[in-house]
């Protein structure tokens, strides 16, 4: 790197970390409840975030306890959301034995443990590896979990997509030995192994990427993984029932810092068509261009979307061609047209069935109303289905025999778990981030507020005769956009205490950004603010026009006057 570049503090931490090792081994056994600032940053690359239970903070302070109660989130990387019943059962055991008794399916097809204590951190990560999964690369400035349509449809198309997701995940996984040394060995105190050769990380180098990097694979008629929100997206191009290549999209990203005007959400750009044999080498060239030219001075400007905005798509594509060593062809005309939420019963095409179960905000738990965790245990032990996690935080049970369909439903009902057929489309298509109490960035509630918001919205939709409408609603506790709120029909983004910025005008297909309908809307006024817009949509919509398309056609000025006048 040039001596003239003033690295951000995180870059300096990575540069001196000896490939993500830093002081983690020593601090892991130092008797403290948390880690030092440098280790907190490095730990993200190992798949864990240091957090705090913010609900209990005020009570602890009132009792004179000024110490922070450190807890950890541990995220499992699961390419394409594909795992076995045995692996899910093991994750459920972990959440009971080492976590806060809940497990969470993420919006990127992974699983998260919450409330893990530092003393249990090594055991948690080791046991995840024991079931042939990993946390390495689930977080941090590397390629994150590779997303892919999880549908277990028999036939070559989905098999090829899921095979490619696994290949990309393996190819872009960090190679550092520090992960194994710290988490998977029996060494109790850490004597650092000095590693200085950049060949250790042939793609990333010793400072890794300037910021996180996300990849996803989709089909034109099923953009269930939101391909336009990724740093690198691959849209399968199908001719005569065969995948002939992929339209490669670059530069998507959802994160925003409202106080910093130079930050913004962006949808990916259509860059080039690549043949199947070219995918990995062209993807590697894209990653390396971001590695070498991405902003390492300002993390707010470090995502790939800002590099492309600065250079322009043509210049970026030319640099990728320079790295890969040959010219790239233009994208095929194919683009996203629809989304499948994969809920309810679906034939797989091989004589077996798949059932998509809607999981509210991805939270898997038992309580007085519903015993979802126990239901999953019973289903996995008795029926042993394949498990697929969706980008909507829900679960698919794959490879169910015809004779077992009624038994699966019986097990769900016995544990008071609502069937997906009982939910309105708006609930099936909803997303919410974790937010309070564990995410340190959250300003407002999200996961815990979303069920009530959806109930109110369902009541309003039913009152207006719109209950069958396919409307995507996504809520986040802050503007970072982890639940992808900026390209859906209705986005609710935490802005101040118990107040949200209300976005409309995106759409279910995910290929258009939304706009602000109203800022700083109190939580209890969200649905009342939307009600007149929904009423006008019902009376003025064109034949077959969706809510998002209607809001986009009518425009911000007209709808803002309606709800803000």
Six-digit token pair at 314? 């043509």
Cα–Cα distance for residue pair 504/154, rounded to 1 Å: 37
> What sign has the CA pseudo-torsion 359, 364, 369, 375?
positive
pLDDT of residue 195: 57
pLDDT over 70 for what percent of the chain?
96
488 within domain boundaries: yes
Instruction: Give the burial string for 289-317 (b: 16+ CB within 10 Å, else e).
Output: bbbeebbbeeebbbbbbbbbbeeeeeebb
| pLDDT at 247 > cutoff 60 | yes
434-452, pLDDT tens digit by residue?
998 888 889 999 999 999 9
Among 193-202, 257-266, 288-297, 520-529, the least confident range: 193-202
pLDDT tens digits for range 55-76: 777 677 767 776 778 999 999 9
Q: Is the pLDDT of residue 564 over 80?
A: no
* CATH code at position 472: 3.30.413.10
State the pLDDT at residue 93.
98
3-state secondary structure of 519: strand
Averaged pLDDT for residues 484-491: 97
Best CA proximity match to 111, nearest among 174, 158, 48: 48
Q: Terminal CA-to-CA distance of the chain, rounded, Å?
A: 54
Pairing type for strands 515-522 and 499-504 reads antiparallel
Angstrom distance (rounded) from CA 40 to CA 52: 13
User: Would 289 be classed as within a structural domain?
Assistant: no
Using CA atoms, how far apart are residues 253 and 230, in angstroms rounded to an integer?
6
The per-residue pLDDT for 354 is 97
Residue 454 resides in a domain: yes
Note the pLDDT tens digit of each residue in 138-154: 999 999 999 999 999 87
Residue 549 within a domain: yes
Rounded Cα–Cα distance for residues 266 and 306 (Å): 9
Could you give the percent of the chain with pLDDT greater than 90?
89
Q: What are the residues whose beta carbons fall under 8 Å from the beta carbon of 517, sequence distance 6 or more? A: 502, 503, 504, 505, 529, 533, 551, 556, 559, 560, 563
Give the integer Cα–Cα distance in Å for 31 and 119.
9
pLDDT band at 1 (very low <50, low <70, confident <90, very high): very low
128 three-class SS: helix
Q: Which residues pair with 278 in a beta bridge?
A: none
Residue 516 belongs to what domain range? 427-564
Distance CA 302, CA 94 (A): 35
Catalytic residue numbers, as ranges: 75, 144, 212, 214, 433, 439, 478, 482
Per-residue pLDDT tens for 318-368?
999 999 999 999 999 999 999 999 999 999 999 999 999 999 999 999 999
- Over the stretch 398-408, which tens digit does the pLDDT of each residue have? 999 999 999 99
Name the nearest CA neighbour of 453 among 352, 523, 400, 403: 523
Structure tokens belonging to residue 220: 């034109």
pLDDT-based confidence at residue 24 (cuts at 50, 70, 90): very high
pLDDT at residue number 190: 46
**Which residues have CB under 8 Å from 307's CB, separation 6+?**
251, 289, 290, 293, 294, 295, 316
Name which of 1-15, 352-366, 411-425 the model is least confident about.
1-15
In a domain, 487, yes or no: yes
pLDDT of residue 27: 97
Q: Does 488 have pLDDT greater than 50?
A: yes
Cα 386 from chain centre:
21
Residue 173 lies in a domain: no
pLDDT at 193 over 60: no
Query: Would 234 be classed as within a structural domain?
Result: no
Phi/psi-derived region of residue 241, left when phi > 0, alpha when psi is between -120 and 50, beta in every other case: left
Query: Domain tally for the chain?
Result: 1
Q: What is the mean pLDDT of the chain?
A: 94
- Is residue 193 classed as helix, strand or coil in its secondary structure? coil
3-state helix, strand, coil in the chain (%, to 5): 35, 20, 45
CA dihedral 58, 62, 65, 69 (to 10 degrees): -20
**For the chain, counts of helices (H) and of strands (E):** 18, 20
Concatenate the DSSP letters of all residues of 289-318 into one string.
HHHHHS-SS-GGG-SHHHHHHHH-HHHHHH
Neighbour-count burial for 473-505, b at 16+ CB within 10 Å, e otherwise: bbbbbbbbbbbbbbbbbbbbbbbeeebbbbbbb
Sign of CA dihedral 86, 394, 215, 196: negative
- Is residue 432 assigned to a domain? yes
Q: When comparing pLDDT for 196 and 44, which is higher?
A: 44
Residues whose CB is less than 8 angstroms from the CB of residue 331 and which lie 6 or more positions away in sequence, other chains included:
247, 248, 270, 271, 272, 273
Contacts of 450-457 spanning 24+ positions with Cβ under 8 A: 450/360, 450/361, 450/475, 451/360, 451/361, 453/492, 453/523, 453/526, 453/527, 454/426, 454/427, 454/430, 456/526, 456/527, 457/426, 457/527, 457/530
How many CB atoms within 10 Å of residue 440?
Answer: 10
């Amino acid at each position: 790197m040039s001596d003239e570049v003033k690295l951000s503090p995180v870059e300096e931490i990575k540069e001196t970390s000896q490939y993500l090792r830093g002081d983690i081994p020593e601090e892991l056994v130092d008797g403290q409840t948390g880690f030092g600032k440098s280790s907190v940053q490095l730990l993200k690359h190992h798949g864990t975030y240091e957090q705090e239970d913010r609900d209990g903070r005020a009570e602890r302070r009132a009792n004179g306890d000024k110490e922070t109660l450190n807890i950890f989130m541990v995220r499992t990387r699961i390419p394409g959301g594909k795992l076995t019943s045995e692996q899910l059962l093991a994750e459920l055991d972990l959440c009971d034995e080492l976590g806060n008794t809940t497990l969470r399916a993420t919006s990127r097809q992974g699983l998260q443990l919450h409330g893990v204590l530092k003393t249990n951190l090594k055991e948690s990560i080791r046991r995840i590896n024991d079931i042939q999964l990993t946390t390495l690369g689930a977080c941090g400035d590397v390629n994150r979990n590779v997303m892919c349509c999880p549908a277990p449809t028999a036939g070559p198309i989905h098999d090829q997509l899921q095979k490619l997701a696994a290949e990309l995940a393996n190819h872009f996984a960090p190679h550092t030995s520090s992960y194994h040394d710290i988490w998977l060995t029996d060494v109790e105190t850490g004597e650092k192994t000095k590693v200085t050769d950049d060949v250790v990380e042939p793609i990333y180098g010793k400072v890794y990427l300037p910021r996180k990097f996300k990849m996803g694979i989709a089909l034109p008629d099923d953009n269930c993984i939101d391909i336009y929100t990724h740093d690198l997206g691959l849209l399968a191009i199908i001719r005569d029932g065969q995948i002939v290549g992929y339209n490669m999209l670059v530069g998507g990203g959802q994160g925003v810092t409202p106080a910093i005007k130079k930050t913004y959400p962006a949808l990916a750009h259509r860059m080039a068509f690549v043949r199947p044999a070219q995918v990995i080498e062209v993807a590697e060239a894209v990653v390396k261009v971001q590695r070498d030219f991405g902003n390492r001075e300002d993390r707010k400007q470090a995502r790939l979307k800002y590099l492309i905005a600065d250079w322009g798509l043509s210049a970026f594509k030319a640099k990728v061609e320079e790295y890969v060593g040959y010219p790239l062809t233009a994208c095929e005309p194919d683009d996203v047209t629809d989304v499948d939420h994969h809920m309810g019963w679906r034939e797989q095409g091989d004589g077996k069935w798949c059932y998509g179960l809607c999981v509210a905000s991805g939270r898997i738990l038992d309580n007085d109303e519903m015993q979802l965790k126990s239901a999953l245990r019973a289903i996995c032990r008795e029926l042993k289905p394949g498990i697929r996690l969706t980008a909507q935080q829900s679960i698919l049970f794959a490879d169910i025999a015809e004779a077992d369909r009624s038994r699966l439903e019986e097990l769900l009902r016995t544990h008071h778990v609502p069937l997906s057929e009982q939910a309105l489309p708006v609930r099936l298509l909803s997303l919410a981030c974790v937010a309070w109490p564990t995410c340190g960035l959250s300003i407002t509630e999200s996961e815990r507020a979303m069920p009530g918001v959806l109930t109110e919205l369902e009541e309003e939709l039913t009152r207006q005769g719109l209950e069958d409408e396919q409307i995507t609603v996504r809520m986040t506790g802050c503007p970072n956009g982890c639940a992808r709120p900026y390209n859906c029909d209705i986005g609710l983004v935490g802005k101040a205490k118990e107040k949200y910025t209300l976005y409309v005008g995106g759409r279910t297909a995910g290929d258009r950004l939304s706009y602000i309908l109203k800022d700083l809307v109190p939580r209890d006024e969200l649905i009342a603010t939307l009600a007149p817009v929904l009423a006008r949509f019902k009376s003025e919509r064109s034949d077959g026009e969706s809510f998002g398309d209607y809001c986009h056609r009518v425009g911000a000025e007209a709808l803002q006057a309606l709800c803000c006048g």
